Amino acid sequence: MLEASTLPSPPRLTQARADLTREVSVVDESGQVSRIRIPAERDLTVYVDKRELVTLMTLGAHPEWLVLGYLLNQRLVGSVQEIESISVDWEVGAAAVVTRQGIDRIEERTARRVVTTGCGQGSVFGGLMDDVDRIQLPPQARLRQSQLYEIVNTIRLHDSTYKTAGSVHACALFAGEHLQLFVEDVGRHNAVDTIAGWMALQPALPAGERVFYTTGRLTSEMVIKSAQMGVPVVISRSGTTEMGLNVAERVGLCAIGRAKHRHFLCYTHPERIVFDAPPPTAA
């Protein structure tokens, strides 16, 4: 195992930015014209070592993190050290990834694509369940009920594109009840990939304290990506799918849905919740 001092330097990243919303004219039900803002959506074609890989539809808030997280969550690279640089150019809508040693069997590994339930039709390469049984989440990780309520309230109060323009999904990473990163995009799969990319560039976060929040439903894709990121607890404003529930049960992930105000439903591994808050009073 390499010592920290001998590890390759982090990848070089551009800091390309784009406007997240644009102003448009609309006509309401009374025939009145007004100006509102809507989320921007742009295509970003990813090239790996000059080979076209995929085109992502995104707001473009943090495109370099998005591309890095996408490669990690697709299991095309095993660590951030395998990437030399990621350069994004919005004038041509392209992200150029340079690896240090190439991606082994890239043609074979990207030959089969599964279209997922992600907004905008997300997709993953290969089988969704590949290597799931190798995932090991911190067995002692717990989330206090009071922390869960703090997380839901933090999201409720957070300034967001959704509040001003709608039509986006949000994901957030917490350490306990403390917000680490909040990301919005046109699809929840992009938002979780962006967070995965950011996490890969940070000093080690306490694994047992990682909590992931999403406004989208807990599909198999979201649960697998969260587990790959070492997150033992996932909270959703929405619900779960059958496959999402099955995968969460299988990997030891605590899946919490319908989390609004002081209400929630725990679908899997309730032993990870410490019930330290009084139940909500009936309305």
Active centre residues (catalytic): 119
- What burial class does residue 121 get, using C-beta atoms within 10 Å of its C-beta: 0-12 exposed, 13-18 middle, 19+ buried? exposed
Q: Which residues contact 55 (CB under 8 A, 6 or more apart)?
A: 43, 44, 45, 46
- What burial class does residue 246 get, using C-beta atoms within 10 Å of its C-beta: 0-12 exposed, 13-18 middle, 19+ buried? middle
Q: List the structure tokens of 101.
A: 């040693």
